[in-house]
Amino acid sequence: MASVVIPTQIPARRPWAMHWRRVRRLPWLPILLLAPVVICGVLGSLIFPHDPTAIDLMSPRHPPGWMTGGSWSYPLGTDQFGRDLLSRLMEGARVALIVALSSVFLAALIGVTAGMVAGYYGGWIDNFIMRIADVVFAIPAILLIILIGGAVGGGFTTVLSSIVIVSWVLYARVVRGETLVLRERGFVALAKVANCSDMRILVRHILPNLMPTCIVLMTLQAGFALLIEAAITFIGLGIQPPATTWGLLISEGRPYMTTAWWIPTFAGAAITLTVLGTNLLGDWLQDRYDPRQRQM
Amino acid sequence: MLRYFFSRLRLAIITILGVSLIVFVTSRMSGDATLLLLPQDASEADIKAMQHDLGLDASYPVQYYRFVVNVAHGDFGQSLRYREPALGLVMSRLPATLELAFSAFILSTIVGLILGIISARRRSSWFDYGARIFSITAQSMPSFWVGIMLILVFAVELRWLPTSGAQGIQYLVLPVVTLALVPIASTLRITRSAMIETLDADYVKFLRVKGLAERYIVWKHAFRNALVPVIAISGLTLGFLIGGTVIIESVFAWPGLGNLMVEAIFTRDYPVIQAGVSVTSVFLIFLNLAVDLLFGVIDPRVRFG
């Protein structure tokens, strides 16, 4: 009888143990780092402790709660106009989310299309696309952005298009390389025999095989987009006030850094932690879905 | 070798032409120069005359041709703010920028190589994990914020180093460390994976079997092979560093090209921006050409591959 009891016990425990193992294997550190940004970005003004634009001239540069002279109604202190820094950081999360997601998807769309076309067709179109990529690659990203931004002025559109212009190249190069290999594979030859159009081969047969690489690249590029946004804002070509971005908080807080160190410090920490989250997530995805390119 | 040289040279020239096209197109996007130069109540005839003087009434291909000819003669136009040739201004500021970039390059190569080799030899040790945490964090921080934080800690709080300026070697420390952080991380990663690969190679196993001392294996055999990818990306690293100085210089009030360009953005001094971008890009294209050629010499696989 005992031998009957034991097998019934094991299946009863197993699903739980397997679920637990699966849960434990999730990339918890990146999730913990990125969750606050996503929550603040999506919920927005519903969860701000204060109105991020409310100016309180009675308490400018109020230190954070734990310091002498600080109060817990402003946990991270206030900026030069007495606005609550925590609320402003939370509002910045929304812009960060918008900038990162939209620039990454646009750049991936352009870069992956260009890379697939270049790699699949070869010939003059390949040459043409890759020479453009060479030119974009030859000018340091920030100088290219200064060139464009200096001509058309700063703002959200400039930030978005600048990030897309400097980052599509990476997708194009990587995707071209992979397409060159994929187009020689048997399933592409079979698809040709089955009279599939080039469009169908590219979208239905080659693109799915590129997805793991693309997802890894997009994750890593999301962090890069935030760093570029901060840099563009710092040189005065970024999103303009009264909007709030983390980059803007650093530049605006910089003149007060000796008397109110918390303004630039926390804004930069928000960027660093978010980018760290996307970088760690990208590394994790790379290990899981693309072991060939494992670096470290 | 000669064929390799010429194919590289041809690519470099095409890239330079591409850069000139981008600079030209963006300059035409920056709006009508006549409206900036003339008073608001200028008559239609005055505007037409001005456009003719500036050559803006010609077709775009003709304008581009004239632009290239002018640039080839070193004429990027006058700086709107300083009233002197833009190219001269850029060239006078370039050495300070290169000083920062090359110092950071030397620092990051040495430190990155050393840390990468130690990481590879002590795989999965606390040192290796520490190096990994360092490199991923360094690559996640906005450079100008790192600069501000270093100023806060080492200049404002501890008073060990000056906050900004360029009057001596101690002024170089903070900006160079700020700049070198990211290249240190990337050099470390590349060195580590290249070292691991070579230390696992069959010929290295043979050297071990032969009984060769570990330090000979590491320094005479593995290290030389690990150096190859580091040299391969050195052109890219320098490009990154020169781009990085543009941002950093205004944090440390360093009198280089970056400061000039950021100033030019605020004063809408477009000729200076054009000259600055063109000069740095051409410089980097030639630098990459030199790296490619050097590579062809030291590694025959590149030349014939």
Is the pLDDT at A2 greater than 90, yes or no? Answer: no
Last residue of a domain, one of B72, B101, B128: B72
Cα distance between residue B304 and residue A88, in whole Å: 57
Q: In this predicted model, which residue has the larger pLDDT, A115 or A4?
A: A115
Q: Do B156 and A280 touch (CB under 8 A)?
A: no
Overall pTM surpassing 0.90 (yes/no): no
Q: Do A250 and B265 touch (CB under 8 A)?
A: no
Which of B260, B245, B273 has its CA nearest to residue B144? B245
Which of A117, A137, A133, A284 has its CA nearest to residue A216? A284
Together in a domain, B119 and B248: yes
Residues of A in Cβ contact (< 8 Å) with B141? 268, 271-272, 275
Q: A interface mutation test: which of B81, B135, B137, B148 has the most A CBs within 10 A?
A: B148
pLDDT tens profile A48-72: 777 777 666 666 666 776 666 666 6
Together in a domain, B128 and B257: yes
Together in a domain, B232 and B297: yes
* Helix, strand, coil % in chain A, rounded to nearest 5: 75, 0, 25
Which of A209, A235, A224 has its CA nearest to residue A164? A224
Q: Confidence band (pLDDT; 50, 70, 90) for A20?
A: confident
Pick from A234, A265, A295: CB nearest B144: A234
Tally of domains within chain B? 2
Provide the mean pLDDT of chain A: 81
Last residue of a domain, one of B39, B72, B105: B72
Together in a domain, B141 and B243: yes
Is the pLDDT at A108 greater than 90, yes or no? Answer: yes
Q: Do A268 and B145 touch (CB under 8 A)?
A: yes
Contact B226, B117 (CB under 8 A): yes
Q: 3-class DSSP state for residue B94?
A: helix
Query: Each residue's pLDDT tens digit in chain B (305 positions)?
Result: 778 888 888 888 888 888 888 888 887 776 666 666 666 666 777 777 766 766 666 777 888 888 788 777 777 777 777 778 878 888 888 888 888 899 999 999 999 998 998 888 888 889 888 988 888 888 899 888 898 888 888 877 777 777 776 677 777 888 899 999 999 999 998 888 888 888 888 888 888 888 888 888 888 878 888 888 888 888 888 888 888 888 888 888 888 888 888 888 887 778 888 888 888 888 888 888 888 888 777 777 666 65
Is the pLDDT at A10 greater than 60, yes or no? Answer: no
* Pairs across A and B, CB distance < 8 A: 153
State whether ipTM is beyond 0.85: no
Give the CA count within 13 Å in the CB-facing half-sphere of A51.
5
Cα distance between residue B84 and residue B271, in whole Å: 11
Q: Do A272 and B137 touch (CB under 8 A)?
A: yes
DSSP A113-168: HHHHHHHHH-HHHHHHHHHHHHHHHHS-HHHHHHHHHHHH--SHHHHHHHHHHHHH
Residue keyed to tokens 């434990």: A24
Together in a domain, B184 and B130: yes
Work out the burial of residue A72: count CB atoms within 10 Å of its CB; fewer than 13 is exposed, 13-18 middle, 19 or more buried.
exposed
Together in a domain, B112 and B225: yes
Residues 6+ apart with CB under 8 A from A54: A83, A84
Q: How far is A5 from chain B (nearest CA, A)?
A: 44
Q: Confidence band (pLDDT; 50, 70, 90) for A102?
A: very high
For residue B54, the enclosing domain spans 2-72
Q: For residue B156, what is the nearest residue in chain A, using CA coordinates?
A: A258
Cα distance between residue A151 and residue B72, in whole Å: 22
Extract the tokens encoding B267.
């004063």
Together in a domain, B213 and B98: yes
- Tell me how far CA of residue B251 lies from CA of A5, B247, B260, in angstroms: 72, 7, 13
Pick from A138, A237, A279: CB nearest B265: A237
Contact A165, A148 (CB under 8 A): yes
**Looking at residue A70, what is its pLDDT?**
64
Q: Does the N-terminal peptide bond of residue A208 adopt cis geometry, omega within 30 degrees of 0?
A: no
pLDDT tens profile A27-56: 888 888 888 888 887 887 777 777 777 666
Is B86 domain-assigned?
no
Q: Do A275 and B250 touch (CB under 8 A)?
A: no
Residues of B in Cβ contact (< 8 Å) with A230? 142, 144-145
Contact B218, B236 (CB under 8 A): no
Least confident of A53-57, A102-106, A251-255, A259-263: A53-57
Is the pLDDT at A295 greater than 50, yes or no? Answer: no
Q: For residue B15, what is the nearest residue in chain A, using CA coordinates?
A: A135
Is B244 domain-assigned?
yes
Determine how many CB atoms are found less than 10 A away from the CB of residue A15.
9
Work out the burial of residue A17: count CB atoms within 10 Å of its CB; fewer than 13 is exposed, 13-18 middle, 19 or more buried.
exposed
Together in a domain, B156 and B56: no
Cα distance between residue B112 and residue B181, in whole Å: 9
Residue keyed to tokens 């809408």: B268
Is B82 domain-assigned?
no
Extract the tokens encoding B201.
């190679």
Q: Do A151 and B240 touch (CB under 8 A)?
A: no
Together in a domain, B39 and B143: no
Residue keyed to tokens 């070193």: B74
Residue keyed to tokens 């970088």: A279
Determine how many CB atoms are found less than 10 A away from the CB of residue B84.
11
Is B285 domain-assigned?
yes
Q: 3-class DSSP state for residue A84?
A: strand
Is B87 domain-assigned?
no
Q: Do A142 and B246 touch (CB under 8 A)?
A: yes
Last residue of a domain, one of B40, B72, B104: B72
- Tell me how far CA of residue B102 lies from CA of A71, B171, B208, B258, in angstroms: 47, 15, 38, 15
Q: Confidence band (pLDDT; 50, 70, 90) for A296?
A: very low
Phi, psi (rounded to 5 degrees) for B97: -65, -45
Cα torsion B106, B107, B111, B114: sign: positive
Which of A177, A274, A164, A161 has its CA nearest to residue A227? A274
Q: Do A295 and B19 touch (CB under 8 A)?
A: no
Extract the tokens encoding B180.
């070198």
Tell me, rounded to whole angstroms, the distance of Cα A83 from its chain centroid: 27
Q: In this predicted model, which residue has the larger pLDDT, A81 or A160?
A: A160
Together in a domain, B168 and B270: yes
**Looking at residue A192, what is its pLDDT?**
84
Q: What is the DSSP letter of A201?
A: I
Together in a domain, B117 and B51: no
Phi, psi (rounded to 5 degrees) for B78: -90, 140
Q: What CATH number corresponds to the domain at position B120?
A: 1.10.3720.10
Q: How far is B249 from chain A (nearest CA, A)?
A: 11
Is B80 domain-assigned?
no
Q: For residue A249, what is the nearest residue in chain B, using CA coordinates?
A: B145
Determine how many CB atoms are found less than 10 A away from the CB of residue B37.
12
Q: What is the DSSP letter of B219?
A: I
Cα distance between residue B270 and residue B71, in whole Å: 15
Is B126 domain-assigned?
yes
Planar angle of CA A155, A157, A159, nearest 5 degrees: 70
Together in a domain, B43 and B137: no
Residue keyed to tokens 């009891």: A5
**Looking at residue A294, what is its pLDDT?**
46
Is B207 domain-assigned?
yes
Q: Confidence band (pLDDT; 50, 70, 90) for A1?
A: very low
Q: What is the DSSP letter of A69?
A: T
Contact A233, B110 (CB under 8 A): no
Which of A3, A94, A108 has its CA nearest to residue A46? A94
Give the CA radius of gyration of chain B. Answer: 24
